[in-house]
């Protein structure tokens, strides 16, 4: 007995020694301190000042190596700096300061950097350490053209470089040298969950003018609302801000009607910095506190249309329309439209981040309204979510820079917003009568999936609990080649049918890559198909008089009627490049195979044999004008397959 106990003690002791030995080995594991070129991922390099493409600073990382006598001189520089956003590249731009932050992903030892200058006179400051609280490493003025070595000798995840260029060209290239410190990047423990077609299916419109009967074909209505301001800026906050009672009456009635029809309304509060600035006069657009009046306004709006039982009518100061609260009509608010575009005078990423933090929750409740009102959407109702302002174009690095500012400037270290939001239109330039003009192309030809994939991957990697929205896309139905982005008729299809087919195909493609919400532009035409040229005048699925529904209305309604509860599962290899098959399920045993030819020249594949497995009941649904649920017919299953005719107009095959 004693021998057994002794053996057990010895075995335990040996095990402990082994563990301690492993720990010791781990502690003594040497880091390779060989100085080598550090990889710089341009997609994770931030510029919060400029909206312009700075990729030329990093596009010759591989061949450029000043430590190698055979290393080449970088050839490219930045000919497109337009920091004052005046449309011209001139000396005023080169005199402007700009700042970039290199994110190495994890902490590295940064030994030195090389910068290739185009001439003498550039003023440079290099910093490392904590973002927005950096420590200066070196500050100097370049004295020659060519490569210059700058010693850093810092352990940091970030390298911040500020240039004040004088009248010389910007630097050509930036290279960093050092070594890894053995750290591993942190990854989220959750994954993003796909949304249903019903959740995704949306359109743009105006609650002041559009009718519920023309909106109910979708499940999500993005409501453009101009943020009218009823005060003189100098009088804020005494004068307050409000939407008119007329606007609220129309909005309230429409939202209630659509809620009963299964359509969620999301207000998008537009602002125009030229006429109605959202920052307080004389304040800095880089400071969240400068957006106090907007933060107060959305707080009051959320009290009225959200549903927070802890709030009462006594909390309402501005009485937006009737003095009432907790109408339970909204779950989301979008806080602006294309603030990086011309109408908003070009918000920089860091400025939009500051604005977003104020609108979200009063910059983590650090803002106080002089009026005594609350600040920010989530302080009125924490269950109402915030979609960032929809950006003009798919601006991936813009969004990444915003997140960088938000994480490092908000007291809670979170980004606050709940959805990333962009706009895009599928077009190409062709020669017409000797001129280059833009016409609409299909979502496949326009690479809709590829253009959005980067921001979806960024979300999945770093913020899986957030959503990705595409809140403007679509095609005009005016057939003039002077109309940019039209869906032109071809073969047997009218322009209206082409628009409808491309819209449906877009929703399927967007669902497949993980986009959560998509709002086509838009509900109702603002021009006429016979006379309106330009762009966007005939991109609606209802005519301008509100009386005639185009094919797109019925095609979208068919998706809502038949696939509302279905989510994307997989792309099936059809064995035929002219046939695309996307499989959707509802989690209750029902499958939908969405099928179409991804071309735009009247390709058809007849008698295609679709494998439906063990399904015993299979139904074909085809899109049709005048039918809100399509036209359905039963299919015969033979040896686990059904025969269908596939064209460029999607068909839906339901199997159970």
pLDDT of residue 65: 81
Q: Residue range 372-391: average pLDDT?
A: 94
The tokens for 612 are: 């439906």
Residue 370: what pLDDT?
Answer: 73
> Tell me, what DSSP letter sits at residue 32?
-
Q: What is the DSSP letter of 476?
A: B
pTM of the model: 0.91
Domain topology for 37-180: Jelly Rolls (2.60.120)
The better pLDDT of the pair 195, 481 is held by 195
pLDDT tens for each residue of 552-597: 999 999 999 999 999 999 999 999 999 999 999 999 999 999 999 9
Q: Residue 90: pLDDT above 70? A: no
Name every residue whose Cβ is closer than 8 Å to that of residue 123 and which is 6 or more positions away in sequence: 140, 141, 142, 163, 164, 165, 166
- Rounded average pLDDT over 405-413: 97
Whether the predicted pLDDT of 404 surpasses 50: yes
Delimit the CATH 3.20.20.80 region(s) of the chain: 197-561
Strands (E), 275-402: 332-334, 385-387
Whether the per-residue pLDDT at 539 is higher than 50: the answer is yes
Fold of 197-561: TIM Barrel (3.20.20)
CATH fit for domain 567-655, picks 2.60.120.260, 3.40.630.10, 2.60.40.1180, 3.30.1950.10: 2.60.40.1180
Mean pLDDT is lowest, of 284-293, 345-354, 394-403, for: 345-354
Residue % of the chain over a pLDDT of 70: 84
Mean pLDDT score of the chain, rounded to an integer? 87
| Residues whose CB falls within 8 Å of the CB of residue 358, separated by 6 or more in sequence, listed in order | 288, 289, 290, 291, 292, 294, 295, 367, 375, 376
pLDDT at residue 642, as a whole number: 98
Q: What is the pLDDT of residues 431-447, one digit of tens each?
A: 888 888 899 999 999 99
Give 122-150 as a 3 state SS string. CEEEEEECCCCCCEEEEEEECCCCEEEEE
Average the pLDDT over each of 238-252, 473-487, 516-530, 531-545 and give the range with the smallest value.
Answer: 238-252
What does the alpha-carbon distance between residue 353 and residue 173 come to, in Å, rounded to a whole number?
28
pLDDT, residue 80, reads 46
Buried b (16+ CB within 10 A) or exposed e, 388-402: bbbbbebbbbbbbbb
Enter the tokens of residue 384: 């109402």
- Do the beta carbons of residue 407 and residue 413 sit within 8 Å? yes
Residue intervals of the chain classified under CATH 2.60.40.1180 are 567-655
Query: Would the pLDDT of 37 be above 70?
Result: yes
List, for residues 19-34, the tens digit of each pLDDT value: 555 554 444 558 899 9
Is the pLDDT at 17 greater than 80, yes or no? no
Peptide bond just before 522 cis, omega within 30 deg:
yes
User: Which of 299-303, 369-373, 612-616 shows the lowest per-residue confidence on average (mean pLDDT)?
Assistant: 369-373
Percentage of the residues of the chain whose pLDDT score is greater than 90: 63
Strand partners, 403: none
Q: What is the mean pLDDT of residues 398-411?
A: 96
Q: Please report, for residues 235, 278, 287, the alpha-carbon distance to residue 238 in angstroms, rounded to integers and kept in the order given.
A: 6, 16, 21
Q: Where in the chain is the domain with CATH 2.60.120.260?
A: 37-180
Q: Check pLDDT > 70 for residue 537.
A: yes
Q: What does the alpha-carbon distance between residue 579 and residue 573 come to, in Å, rounded to a whole number?
A: 9
């Amino acid at each position: 007995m004693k021998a057994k106990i002794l053996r057990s003690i010895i075995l335990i002791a040996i095990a402990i020694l082994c563990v301690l030995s492993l720990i010791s080995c781990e502690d003594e594991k040497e880091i390779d301190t060989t100085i080598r070129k550090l990889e710089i991922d341009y997609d994770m390099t931030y510029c919060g000042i400029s909206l312009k493409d700075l990729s030329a600073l990093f596009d010759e990382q591989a061949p450029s190596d000043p430590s190698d006598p055979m290393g080449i001189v970088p050839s490219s520089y930045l000919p497109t700096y337009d920091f004052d956003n005046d449309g011209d590249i001139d000396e005023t731009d080169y005199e402007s300061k700009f700042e970039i932050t290199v994110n190495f992903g994890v902490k590295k030892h940064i030994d030195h950097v090389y910068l290739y200058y185009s001439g003498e006179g550039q003023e440079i400051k290099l910093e490392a350490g904590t973002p927005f609280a950096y420590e200066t490493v070196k500050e100097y003025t370049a004295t020659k053209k060519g490569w210059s070595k700058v010693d850093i000798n810092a352990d940091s995840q970030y390298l911040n470089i500020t240039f004040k260029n004088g009248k010389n060209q910007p630097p050509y290239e930036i290279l960093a040298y050092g070594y890894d410190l053995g750290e591993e990047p942190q990854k989220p423990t959750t994954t993003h969950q796909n949304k249903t077609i019903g959740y995704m299916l949306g359109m743009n419109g105006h609650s002041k003018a559009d009718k519920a009967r023309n909106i109910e074909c979708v499940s999500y209505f993005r409501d453009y609302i101009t943020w009218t301001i009823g005060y003189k800026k100098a009088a804020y906050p005494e004068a307050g801000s409000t939407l008119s009672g007329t606007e609220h009456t129309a909005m309230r009635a429409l939202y209630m009607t659509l809620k009963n029809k299964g359509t969620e309304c999301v207000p998008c509060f537009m602002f125009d910095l030229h006429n109605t600035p959202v920052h307080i006069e004389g304040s800095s657009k880089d400071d969240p506190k400068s957006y106090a009046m907007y933060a107060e306004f959305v707080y009051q709006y959320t009290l009225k249309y959200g549903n927070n039982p802890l709030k009462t009518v006594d909390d309402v100061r501005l009485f937006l329309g009737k003095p009432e609260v907790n109408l339970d009509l909204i779950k989301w608010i979008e806080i602006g439209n294309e603030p990086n575009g011309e109408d908003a005078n070009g918000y920089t990423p860091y400025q939009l981040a500051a604005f977003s933090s104020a609108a979200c929750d009063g910059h983590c409740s650090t803002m106080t309204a002089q009026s005594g009102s609350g600040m920010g959407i989530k302080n009125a109702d924490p269950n109402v979510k915030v979609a960032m302002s929809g950006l003009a174009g798919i601006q991936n690095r813009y969004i990444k820079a915003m997140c960088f500012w938000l994480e490092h400037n908000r007291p809670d270290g979170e980004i606050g917003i709940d959805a990333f939001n962009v706009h895009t239109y599928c077009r190409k330039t062709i020669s017409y009568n000797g001129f280059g003009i833009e016409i609409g192309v299909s979502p496949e030809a326009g690479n809709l999936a590829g253009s959005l994939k980067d921001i979806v991957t960024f979300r999945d990697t770093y913020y899986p609990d957030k959503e990705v929205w595409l809140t403007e896309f679509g095609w005009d139905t005016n057939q003039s080649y002077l109309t940019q982005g039209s869906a032109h008729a071809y073969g047997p299809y009218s322009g209206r049918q082409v628009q409808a087919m491309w819209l449906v195909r877009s929703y399927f493609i967007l669902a497949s890559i993980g986009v959560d919400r998509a709002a086509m532009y838009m509900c109702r035409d603002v021009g006429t198909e016979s006379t309106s040229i330009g762009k966007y005048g005939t991109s609606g699925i209802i005519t301008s008089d509100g009386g005639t529904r185009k094919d797109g209305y019925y095609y979208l309604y068919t998706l809502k009627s038949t696939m509302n509860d279905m989510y994307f599962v997989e792309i099936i290899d059809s064995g035929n490049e002219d046939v695309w098959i996307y499989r959707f399920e509802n989690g209750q045993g029902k499958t939908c195979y969405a099928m179409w030819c991804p071309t735009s020249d009247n390709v058809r594949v007849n008698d295609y044999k679709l494998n439906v497995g063990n399904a015993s009941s299979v139904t074909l649904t085809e899109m049709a004008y005048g039918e809100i649920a399509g036209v359905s017919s039963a299919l015969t299953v033979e040896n686990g397959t059904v025969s269908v005719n596939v064209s460029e107009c999607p068909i839906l095959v339901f199997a159970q």
